[in-house]
Amino acid sequence: MKISHVVENLNRGGLERMVLDLVALQSAQGHQVQVICVFEPGALAGELEALGVTLVACGKRRGPDLRALRRLRRAVKIHGTEVMHTHNASAHYQAVLATFGLRVPRVINTRHGMGAGTPSARRDRLYRLALGGTDVVATVCDAARRDALSRRLVPPTRSTVVPNGIRIELFTPASAGRRAALRRALGVADDIRVVGTVGRLNWAKDQRNLISAFAQVHRRDPRTALVLAGKGELLFMLRAHAKAEGVAAAVYFLGDRNDVRELLQGMDVFVLSSVSEGYSMALLEAAASGLPMVATDVGGTREIVRDGETGRLVPAGDPEALASAISSLLEDPDTAGRLARGALDWVRVNGSLATMASRYESLYRPLEPV
């Protein structure tokens, strides 16, 4: 099949990683795949070159930009696209508008989260209009589908769930060697226990709450450190908050990293403190790394973190509950190990890229049932 994936950009994030992994697998399976970025190419665009996959960056400017839409339309037309797979709302309605009249045989949209943080009547209206030319809308978790249906954003008869998947074979469980390597890189003693998270530094991930929780953990056990991998607009605020909480010396901001797998192998506990989440790629990666996990009970997180089975769930925005769950795993290695094994077993069965890709391929073929 000739498949065009349409995204806003390929900056580092869960959506973008999922698209790149899916594109790599589809290309290896013999499909003719290209990726179209509505805006800039993004930090991960170089990976497509290594795969030999075409990338088209439309360079859209703020507001209406007919030139960018023409670039998108031309890319789809020249490619002879049979399946246009768009990702999230903005990329979807831009792509549908740009390709109006081309009669692309199959149009699929994936909603990767629980919706944008700031409600927008205009965005929702444009998205609903674009669904008139859409065959299927896939959400990445049951919670996101229920939310979209409750807000009447998608029609029930054209919606389905396709959970995210990762390349599990690339991940290996945390090890003593990797733990030692991470501590050397941080410049801390070998007996320091590392609590870690991966994600953009923004409102949705709520790292401020995580730092507040860690301050309680650190006061209880000073032989602990917090690692945050990712960049974002809240970096300076979060640094100031760590200082205000008295833990600046024990909190490490690692920035944008291309060695997340190695970082995960060096952690003792993985934490996701989000106030809004779809189906977290970071949690899948932590599970595949054999880590005990603590996560806030939002969106589709409970579909990955089964409390007491694959990790610990706590309410969002509650630093005391978050701190208690983190400390309990640091202080009880038997329970931590049991939850980590449960998470690893679960993700090997339910979280593979191959399973996700197979589900999408069934959506790409109009004669097969959704």
Judgement on whether residues 281 and 184 belong to the same structural domain of the protein: yes
Judgement on whether residues 102 and 123 belong to the same structural domain of the protein: yes
Look at the chain and report how many structural domains it folds into. 2
Judgement on whether residues 26 and 151 belong to the same structural domain of the protein: yes
Tell me the residue type at 104: V
Asked whether residue 192 is assigned to any structural domain, the reply reads yes
Which sign does the torsion angle of CA 22, 24, 25, 27 carry?
A: positive
What CATH code is carried by the domain that includes residue 118? 3.40.50.2000
CA separation for the pair 305, 292 (Å, rounded): 10
Judgement on whether residues 82 and 218 belong to the same structural domain of the protein: no
Judgement on whether residues 84 and 96 belong to the same structural domain of the protein: yes
Judgement on whether residues 98 and 206 belong to the same structural domain of the protein: no
Judgement on whether residues 135 and 23 belong to the same structural domain of the protein: yes
Tokens of 323: 């701190």
Asked whether residue 254 is assigned to any structural domain, the reply reads yes
Asked whether residue 303 is assigned to any structural domain, the reply reads yes
Judgement on whether residues 213 and 95 belong to the same structural domain of the protein: no
CA separation for the pair 13, 63 (Å, rounded): 24
Half-sphere exposure of 328 (CA within 13 A, CB side): 16
Which sign does the torsion angle of CA 98, 101, 104, 109 carry?
A: positive
Residue-range definition of the domain harbouring residue 191: 168-350
What is the full per-residue pLDDT of the chain (370 aa) written as tens digits?
999 999 999 998 889 999 999 999 999 999 999 999 999 999 899 999 889 999 999 999 988 899 999 999 999 999 999 999 999 999 999 999 999 999 999 999 999 987 655 557 788 899 999 999 899 999 999 999 999 999 899 999 999 999 999 999 999 988 889 999 999 999 999 999 999 999 999 999 999 999 999 999 999 999 999 999 999 999 999 999 999 999 999 999 999 998 999 999 999 999 999 999 989 999 999 999 999 999 999 999 999 999 999 999 999 999 999 999 999 999 999 999 999 999 999 999 999 999 999 999 999 986 444 4
Contacts of 177 (CB under 8 A, 6+ apart): none
Asked whether residue 62 is assigned to any structural domain, the reply reads yes
Asked whether residue 344 is assigned to any structural domain, the reply reads yes
pTM as predicted:
0.86
Judgement on whether residues 173 and 70 belong to the same structural domain of the protein: no
Asked whether residue 286 is assigned to any structural domain, the reply reads yes
DSSP one-letter code for 83: E
Contact 88, 69 (CB under 8 A): no
Judgement on whether residues 358 and 298 belong to the same structural domain of the protein: no
Judgement on whether residues 77 and 214 belong to the same structural domain of the protein: no
Judgement on whether residues 360 and 294 belong to the same structural domain of the protein: no
Asked whether residue 338 is assigned to any structural domain, the reply reads yes
Asked whether residue 370 is assigned to any structural domain, the reply reads no
